[in-house]
């Protein structure tokens, strides 16, 4: 066990009984929260939400690739990775990690509580010498998780430095489905989006959005709720946001899935990514001492 994992488990021992320490995939240090919506597992590595299992034996709500790497310094494929402080490739240095450094760094638990409504946990990452080499800002990044009748994720960014900062910050949520090719996404019609595959901005007035091929759309300003209808599993998944104006819809489809070493060739059928946070024209702009929080609430619904 490495030193970050030891620190994580030492702090975890101080949390309420409704939050238990577990060995995650490949033995990584993780915590489990229990609530009316089921159990949710989160790793120290990247504060990565690994899985959400409903209490009624239904299929897990989050997708986690069978080929995912669980190694120090590597991102995990699936669940809910945290994208921070840039989205996609670094704008100036392609040698820096895609989607920022947060999803590759160890977080520590800084608090938790439990009551009759469920359990809540806070995990934190702050700047150090390594992050400052990649991004010259002092910061505090906090993931707040609450498991009640839904899964609520609060992503908070605080500028601890002496000058303004600008950053992207997203929850890159992989929602598990029975067959992505049969799914429908409702709630984004009429919103301008950037098609990352074609490099253009467009508005699609049609509803619903379907996965008919590789899909990569960034909506800088789409604060409303989104419904993912999954006929194969006979359910819907509702994603509601507060303080998070941006959304991304992504699925790699056949060709790109085969190029990703940590994703099985046919695993694209088992998820649709609905990402939430601050991106592009709506990216965070924080003055010294300022903080902002975006809350995403995910719940199951009938299809």
Torsion, Cα 158 113 19 84, to 10 degrees, reads -10
Torsion, Cα 23 25 29 30, to 10 degrees, reads -80
Rounded to a whole number of angstroms, the CA Rg of the chain reads 18
Question: Do 37 and 60 meet the contact criterion of CB atoms below 8 Å apart?
Answer: no
- In whole angstroms, what is the distance from residue 207 CA to residue 118 CA? 35
- In whole angstroms, what is the distance from residue 178 CA to residue 303 CA? 13
- In whole angstroms, what is the distance from residue 45 CA to residue 75 CA? 9
Give me the catalytic one of 45, 120, 172, 240.
172
Q: State yes or no: is 253 an active-site residue.
A: no
- In whole angstroms, what is the distance from residue 155 CA to residue 171 CA? 8
Q: State yes or no: is 158 an active-site residue.
A: no
- In whole angstroms, what is the distance from residue 236 CA to residue 186 CA? 10
Longest Cα pair distance anywhere in the chain, in angstroms?
A: 52
Give me the catalytic one of 124, 240, 267, 275.
275
Catalytic residues: 172, 275
């Amino acid at each position: 066990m490495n030193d970050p994992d030891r620190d994580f488990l030492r702090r975890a021992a101080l949390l309420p009984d409704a939050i238990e320490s577990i060995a995650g995939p490949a033995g990584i240090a993780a915590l489990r929260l229990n609530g009316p919506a089921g159990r949710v597992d989160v790793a120290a590595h990247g504060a990565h939400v690994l899985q959400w299992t409903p209490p009624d034996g239904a299929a897990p709500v989050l997708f986690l690739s069978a080929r995912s790497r669980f190694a120090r310094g590597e991102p995990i494929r699936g669940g809910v990775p945290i994208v921070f402080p840039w989205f996609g490739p670094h704008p100036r240095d392609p040698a820096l990690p895609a989607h920022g450094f947060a999803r590759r760094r160890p977080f520590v638990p800084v608090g938790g509580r439990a009551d009759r409504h469920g359990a809540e946990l806070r995990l934190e990452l702050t700047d150090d010498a390594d992050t400052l080499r990649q991004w010259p800002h002092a910061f505090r990044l906090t993931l707040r998780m609450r498991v009640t009748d839904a899964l609520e994720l609060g992503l908070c960014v605080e500028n601890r430095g002496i000058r303004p900062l600008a950053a992207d910050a997203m929850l890159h949520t992989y929602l598990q489905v029975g067959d992505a090719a049969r799914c429908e996404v409702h709630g984004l019609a009429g919103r301008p989006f950037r098609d990352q595959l074609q490099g253009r901005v467009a508005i699609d007035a049609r509803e619903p959005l379907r996965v008919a091929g590789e899909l990569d759309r960034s909506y800088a300003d789409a604060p409303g709720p989104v419904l993912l209808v999954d006929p194969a599993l006979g359910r819907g998944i509702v994603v509601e946001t507060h303080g998070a104006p941006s959304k991304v819809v992504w699925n790699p489809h056949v060709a790109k899935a085969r190029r990703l070493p940590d994703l099985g060739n046919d695993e694209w059928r088992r998820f649709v990514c609905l990402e939430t946070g601050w991106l592009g024209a709506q990216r965070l702009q924080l003055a010294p001492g300022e903080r902002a929080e975006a809350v995403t609430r995910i719940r199951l619904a009938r299809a």
